[in-house]
Each structure stands twice: as C-alpha cells, then as structure tokens.
Amino acid sequence: MKQPAEPELVKNYLLKTLQPEKRIDNFTLGEGVMPTSFKVLYDSHRQKDILVADFGGSAIGRVAPVDSGFWWIILLRSYTKYTHGCSMIDRRMVSLYFKFSTGLAPALCARQMLKPERDGKELIERIDKRITALSYHIQKDYWLNFTQLNNIYRYKNGGERWEVGEMPLKITYPVLAGFDLKNTRRSYHNGGSWPGFQFKKALAISFPGMANIEISSLCGSVKGLSHKLNFFSSIAPSGGDFPFSYV
C-alpha cells in the first residue's frame, strides 16, 4: 500500500539546509548551496542539540559541495551552442583539470545566456559580484604553480609508519580498483570498489575454528565478482574506458 506523502518533512529538511551560512575567505556562499553533511552537537549553553553544517571543510581533500555545480551550466551552454539538441556530450571527455582551470566558466556562461531585462538584470548583477569571489577562490585554492606544488610536496605527515601508500590494504591496485594512471603510490582513492572489502572480511573472520566460514564466504564473493566482470566486459565499448582491470 502506498504511503501518504509527507510534505512537511521535505519542507523542513529544505529549510534546514538553507538556514546555515558559510563564509570562505570573507565571501559568503550563494543561497541554496547544499552542505556536504551535518553534525548533531549538543549546545551546553542552550541546553539542546543543534545542527552544524559542513560545507566540505571536514571532508577528505576538503571537497566543497559547489564542485558538482560547475557542470550543469557548462553542459547546458554546450548543448545549446554546439549541438542544437541533436547530440549527446560525454562528460568524461571534459577532463577534471579542465573543470578546475575553467572554474569561472559557469558564471561567465550564465551571464552570456541571460538578457538584461526584468529578472535577468538582477541576476546579472549578482553574477558580476560572484565572479569577483570566484576569481579569488580559484586563484587562491585551485591555481597550481611551482610554488604551490613545492608547498604540497612538503606537507607534514605522521611519518613512514602512517604512509597510506605503504598500507597493504589500500584499494588502489588494478585488480581491485580498475586500471587508472592516477592510482599511484600516495594517491587518494575513496575505496568504493567493493572487492577490496573482501580483504577486510577475510581478516575479520580469520579466527581459529572459522576457516570453513571464511573459505565459503570468499568463494561466494569471487563467484559474484566473476559474474560482474563478465557483464562489464560485454557492455564495455571497444577502446573505451573499462571499469575493471583483471590480471
């Protein structure tokens, strides 16, 4: 039986996401920016739980939620200007480095697509203000030159004992994560490839008297992986990107 809609829940959630404000380098983010996550903390002064929004400052790599927002306006302009709706654009062809180097493109594209009439005039004024903030943000946090590169190479870490590149369970090898030239030593991978968790499963159940459970469990996982590999090999385009690489 279909459950009745609960619009109040959705409404309250959206209102909560719009209430927190985030300032980066004395610039306030625009309205409607979705936080990456929330934390529930207890406020001893007000004697109640409060929501603290995270806009990427606590994430691995400090990933800001506005990152994905760079795409839709770029692709929208590409569709209308070049394809006239008759072709599809593969996002993979728009490289990641291009996205960072053209971080100002969304604002510039939007400005070109708006007409200075009625509501468009107000939006253009807001875009002009946003371009100043974006220019500073891109040049300060994303612009990579030799000075910044040397600073990155000299980041302090916890010593060789905690070097991620030396950890035996790091999910960056082709058989687990797919062939990717970026997956070199000391690189970052989000560990989203589920076969990598089989190592942890084997360790968790590798206790005396549980060998049979371990073997049967891993055999079932390998059988499932084999089925998925055959499926992906059947749909992978010739010469295209392949999600798995097995040896």
Closest by CA position to 137, among listed 77, 56, 37, 58: 56
The answer, yes or no, to whether residue 212 has pLDDT greater than 70, is: no
Tell me what the pLDDT averaged over the chain comes to.
59
Which of 14-28, 84-98, 141-155 ranks highest by mean pLDDT? 141-155
Contact between residue 201 and residue 218 where contact means Cβ atoms under 8 Å apart: yes
Q: What is the structure's pLDDT at 35?
A: 65
Bigger pLDDT: 64 vs 35: 35
The answer, yes or no, to whether residue 168 has pLDDT greater than 50, is: no
The predicted-structure confidence for 195-207, as pLDDT tens digits, reads as follows: 555 555 565 555 5
The answer, yes or no, to whether residue 214 has pLDDT greater than 70, is: no
Specify the pTM.
0.29
The answer, yes or no, to whether residue 164 has pLDDT greater than 70, is: no
Tokens of 217: 């469990």
The predicted-structure confidence for 112-128, as pLDDT tens digits, reads as follows: 777 777 777 887 887 77
Q: What is the structure's pLDDT at 44?
A: 87
The answer, yes or no, to whether residue 143 has pLDDT greater than 50, is: yes
**Residues in contact with 110: Cβ distance below 8 Å, sequence separation at least 6, in sequence order:** 73, 123, 127
CA 50/CA 58 separation, integer angstroms: 17
Contact between residue 109 and residue 74 where contact means Cβ atoms under 8 Å apart: yes
| Mean pLDDT value across residues 11-35 | 64
Q: What is the DSSP string of 136-175?
A: HHHHHHT---HHHHHHHHT---S-GGG-GGG-TT-S-SHH
| Mean pLDDT value across residues 97-101 | 50
